[in-house]
Amino acid sequence: MTAPRPLSLHVPEPGCRPGDTPDFSDFEIPRAGAVRRPAIDEAPEDMRDMAFSVVRVLNKAGEAVGPWAGLLDAEALRTGLRHMLTLRQFDERMLKAQRQGKTSFYMQHLGEEAVSCAFRMALQDGDMHFPTYRQAGLLIAGGYPMTDMMNQIYSNAADPLKGRQLPVMYSARDHGFFTISGNLGTQFIQAVGWAMASAISNDTKIAAGWIGDGSTSESDFHAAMVFASSYKAPVILNIVNNQWAISTFQGMARGGAVTFAARGHGFGIPSIRVDGNDYLAVHAVASWAAERARSGLGPTLIEHVTYRAGGHSTSDDPSAYRSKEEFSAWPLGEPIDRLKRHLITIGEWSEERHTQALAEITDEVRACQKKAEANGTLISGPKPSPRLMFDDVYAEMPPHLQRQRQEAGF
Amino acid sequence: MARMTMIEAIRNAHDLAMDRDRQVVVFGEDVGYFGGVFRCTAGLQKKYGSNRCFDAPISENGIVGAAVGMCAYGLKPVVEIQFADYMYPAYDQIVSEAARMRHRSAGQFTCPMVIRMPTGGGIFGGQTHSQSPEALFTHVAGLKVVVPSNPRDAKGLLLASIEDPDPVIFLEPKRLYNGPFDGHHDRPVVSWKNHELGDVSEDYFTVPLGKAKIRREGSALTVLAYGTMVYVAQAAAEEAGVDAEIIDLRTLLPLDLETIEASVKKTGRCVVIHEATKTSGFGAELSAAVQESCFYHLEAPIVRVTGWDTPYPHAQEWTYFPGPERIKRAFAQVLEG
């Protein structure tokens, strides 16, 4: 018998930190169009391959190919491009506003625009999203007024949330957008509960839960998976794998699993991986999952493979923890460029029209910003009354809060 | 009018609520087919179907998290956490989600849910089946916290909690499920069947939240208690021959300060009793509130009688439990002052 060797702890580290050369050569990416499209009622155990591949529609030449192509006409694609351009423009202006001190905090979507914009178009009005802070495309593509988003970001007098929430933690019930929590992961199981309620009520609506790669480590993720699986809830569970949880690389949450999508297998939930930078692929996979949910076939887990090109928020500098070259080396490209090239390839768009659209969108976002700033910003102009802080703690204000409000001088 | 145990009264409240409002759904660990480990939901699945009363996986944060989602849809979930001691995995969903929903969404989303959980000791449950975590809830803005002490109140308060538009933590003193308990653990068990508070109307009725009840009028001192400790305080008062005024708080949040204030101003002396640990317990809040509003009426320092600041023990249960002897000593102490 040999003497036992001392154990040592394995702490996973990304292959690339500042100063290193990014290397995505071990990321296996199938050709666009190469991945099959299972029937929606295929048995979960027969489609495990879907968790280890990547559904892609747009190829390098800008063509839409394979069994997941053909769902969207040119008009819908132009609308999608417009949504993504709007979200990017919106982000740019709000980032700038934060730097100017007009608000305390901001979180952008750079590189991830296709995920929420395309997904929204696959769901219907009346369905409910339980988003994280990086799915504002659900609001933009759902027609929610940008001015109201800005009013929230500025915590101004017209803020629909009365100045109570951190910027970008929107809530828009009428637009199927659940109030965002800063406590990560909590919304995932709530989405399942909402979907269960729809089924209990014999409704036809479905829910979509959203979570980041890092937050899949939270117990809420596992609760959501077991509830969704056991009750066969009509819900789409989305993991947005943007590679980074602030400074922590996705391998820390993924552990020994090959993919996040593979997490679904232990629960018998059909799990599918999609190119999150491919507008058509995200839309096609979301539509497939929505059809499953609406047909009573239960939950689907989708891993959107994308890359967070910007910082986590305005509070961190990514160059402190990852290589600046990583995004340019990212093999799935950039979603707006890819959809634009596709539209040009099929003769439905041009550089001129693009420039024209961009100018229109810039004007539109600027006009919204002007309107929002007339209602004030965090540092100047009209603000929500401090009195509002005491409202909505309860439906009816109990005596102790009434006394405290008086004590505070309101 | 029927004679009911607290379990039967709680079951009856569920039945009436489910019958009256289709949005009410009931779930939790073992609550469906089996009807709950304490039988509080027995028969509901059979009567209302498994779409409205069902078992849940052993995942407290899953149960409360799913209930938050159901509230967002428009249902009114009444969920059971099998023991209050099991609540901790759900704490994030309760504190950061359910309690804050109305405020953070400016009223777009609300959480009209009831989270029931058996609380307290006296049943040889050891440290994982005996805790009284009420102070962890009374510290949270947006929650209501209710502790019934008898079958009639349990039914009326539960129905009021289900009607309430905000999340209610409903703590059921498990030692009171089958009968009142005066702290004399070596005496025969008493049943609700032989107690006037076991008389419960079978009709729908509510007991308003936020209203305390004076269980025993007196002039020598005021006792602030809730749940099991109401009966222990009563026994101590009878045995010591002290003319105590015993207030059963019933709702801890929002607190009925008016009733407390009137009583302490009358008696000038106050004993606060709970089974939970002392430090930062709800008794600290009660003492501070009494001091703030009644200081110039107090003849003696307020005394707290509580569980010791230890985990709830198994073999030493009756040393931990604030029984009649300790309460009698506290009475003597405030009467001397």
User: At A408, which amino acid appears?
Assistant: A
Show residues of chain B in contact with A160, CB under 8 Å.
106
Domains of chain B: 2-200 (3.40.50.970), 213-336 (3.40.50.920)
Look at B61 and A219 and tell me if their CB atoms are within 8 Å: yes
pLDDT greater than 80 at residue B259: yes
Two tokens at A48? Answer: 């495990």
pLDDT greater than 90 at residue B34: yes
Which chain A residues in 108-137 lie under 8 Å from chain B, judged by CB atoms?
128, 130
Give per-10-residue mean pLDDT for chain A (410 aa): 91 94 93 98 97 98 97 98 98 98 98 98 98 98 98 98 98 98 96 99 98 98 98 98 97 96 98 98 98 98 98 95 95 97 98 98 98 97 96 98 96
Look at A201 and B73 and tell me if their CB atoms are within 8 Å: yes
> What is the ipTM metric for this complex?
0.97
Cβ–Cβ < 8 Å for A133, A245:
no
In chain B, which residue's Cα lies nearest the Cα of A228? Answer: B66
Look at A197 and B97 and tell me if their CB atoms are within 8 Å: no
B199 bridge partner residues? B3
Look at B62 and A173 and tell me if their CB atoms are within 8 Å: no
B314 is catalytic: no
CA-to-CA dists, residue B312 to A134, B123, B215, B277, angstroms: 44, 11, 28, 9
* The pLDDT value given to residue B337: 72
What dihedral do alpha carbons B90, B92, B97, B103 form, nearest 10°?
130
Mean pLDDT of B86-114: 98
Helix, coil or strand: residue B142: coil
* The pLDDT value given to residue A51: 98
Question: Considering only CB atoms, which residues of chain B are within 8 Å of chain A?
Answer: 25, 51-52, 56-57, 59, 61-62, 65-70, 72-75, 89, 92-93, 96-97, 101-110, 141-142, 144, 164-166, 210, 254-255, 257-258
* The pLDDT value given to residue A143: 98
Show residues of chain A in contact with B257, CB under 8 Å.
399-400
Which chain A residues in 169-188 lie under 8 Å from chain B, judged by CB atoms?
169, 171-173, 178-179, 181, 183, 186, 188
Most B CBs within 10 A among A178, A179, A226, A236, hence the mutation to make, goes to A179
Look at A196 and B142 and tell me if their CB atoms are within 8 Å: no
Indicate the residue of B65, B75, B109 with minimum beta-carbon distance to A171: B109
* The pLDDT value given to residue A2: 84
Q: Which of B14, B129, B297, B314 is catalytic?
A: B129
* The pLDDT value given to residue B164: 98
* The pLDDT value given to residue A369: 98
Model confidence over B232-241: pLDDT tens digits? 999 999 999 9
Show residues of chain A in contact with B45, CB under 8 Å.
none
Show residues of chain A in contact with B65, CB under 8 Å.
186, 188-190, 192-193, 220, 223-224
Which chain A residues in 219-248 lie under 8 Å from chain B, judged by CB atoms?
219-220, 222-224, 226-227, 230
Task: Provide, for chain B, the percentages of residues in helix, strand and coil under a 3-state DSSP scheme, each rounded to the nearest 5.
Answer: 40, 20, 40
Size of interface A-B (CB pairs under 8 A): 143
Look at B69 and A130 and tell me if their CB atoms are within 8 Å: yes
* The pLDDT value given to residue A275: 98
Show residues of chain B in contact with A394, CB under 8 Å.
102, 142, 144, 166
Indicate the residue of A181, A395, A400 with minimum beta-carbon distance to B254: A400
Look at B102 and A191 and tell me if their CB atoms are within 8 Å: no
* The pLDDT value given to residue A48: 98
CA proximity to A118, closest of A94, A133, A135: A135
